[in-house]
Structure 1
Amino acid sequence: MKSTKPLGLKGVAILFGLVLLIGFFGGLGSGFLADRPGSGAFWTTVAFTTVMMAAVLGVSFWWWSRLDEAAREAHKWAWYWGGSSGMLIGLVFMLVLTTRPADIALPASLGETPAELVGAGMVITLGFQLIGYGLAWAWWWVGRR
């Protein structure tokens, strides 16, 4: 792989700004499209969301190409161990919730419809993965200092 210039503070600010812009326009567009009825609006939402996710992936590729080897290894290690641990915690919750539903009262804020509950479960599991990722990433760097 060819060597590229590291990001530096200016590059990180640009990266952060790009992600904020994508998130702002993605949220604005999704909110606008959410109230539109019909299959045309559904497919427009799918296409719009796909374009927004492709933009985020493009920014991620740009960022990754500028990381040094140590930072890449830290992220790969954290992704595997932290993300896997977070996914495992989410799996434990899912198994307990599906095998003992009568013993657990879910907060109403998680949702009422199946789609809302699935979405809440996905967001909670993603939260566990992000926490695990952050802890594993810090563990990796502390172990090498």
Structure 2
Amino acid sequence: MVGLVLLLGFVGGLGSGFLSERPGSAGFWTTVIFTCVVMAGVLGVSFWWWRRLDEAAREAHKWAWYWGGSTGMLIGLVLMIMLTTRPADIVIPAPLGETPADLVGAGMLAILLFQLVGYGLAWAWWWLGRR
């Protein structure tokens, strides 16, 4: 199953990267449709995987999703507040980008990273607490 999701991700990333090079609105909409189809496939695999989990694994994932994801969002919220209320005091590293689109993308990826780290820590905490 992990291999299937990795394959879908690889094909999706490669295809989206290739299609994004096409000019005009046709290239844009082709990329959007292709990406949505690949994400629907990933979601389908996720549903299939979830239905086959036992109750303990489901509870671990639900607990980690709630507490880990919420904590990750909270960290992101604190950073967003700091960036918007004290912009003169913060130097944004150049690799994050210079255009608004680059900075929004970097912020979205940062929130996702915080949520994934929080999820992983909460998931491990849940399982270690039940050993």
Settle same-fold status: TM greater than 0.5. yes
Q: What is the aligned partner in structure 2 of residue 25 from structure 1?
A: 11
What amino acid is aligned across from residue 38 of structure 2 in structure 1?
A: M
Structure 2 CA distance for aligned equivalents of residues 25 and 130 of structure 1: 22
Write the mapping of 1:57-136 to structure 2, written as runs, cut at 5 A: 57-136=43-122
> Are positions 1:43 and 2:29 aligned together?
yes
How far the C-alpha of 1:88 sits from its partner, in A, is: 0.4
Identity of aligned residues (%): 79
Structure 1 segments unaligned to the other structure (5+ residues): 1-14
**SS of the residue aligned with 1:129?**
helix
Moved more, 71-80 or 25-34: 25-34
**Separation in 2 of the partners of 1:33 and 1:101?**
36
- Whole-angstrom distance in 1 between the partners of 2:110 and 2:67: 18
Query: For structure 2, which runs of at least 5 residues remain unmatched after alignment?
Result: none
Moved over 2 A (4+): none
Structure 1: distance between partners of 2:116 and 2:6: 18
What is the number of residues matched between the two proteins?
A: 131
TM-score scaled by length of structure 1: 0.89
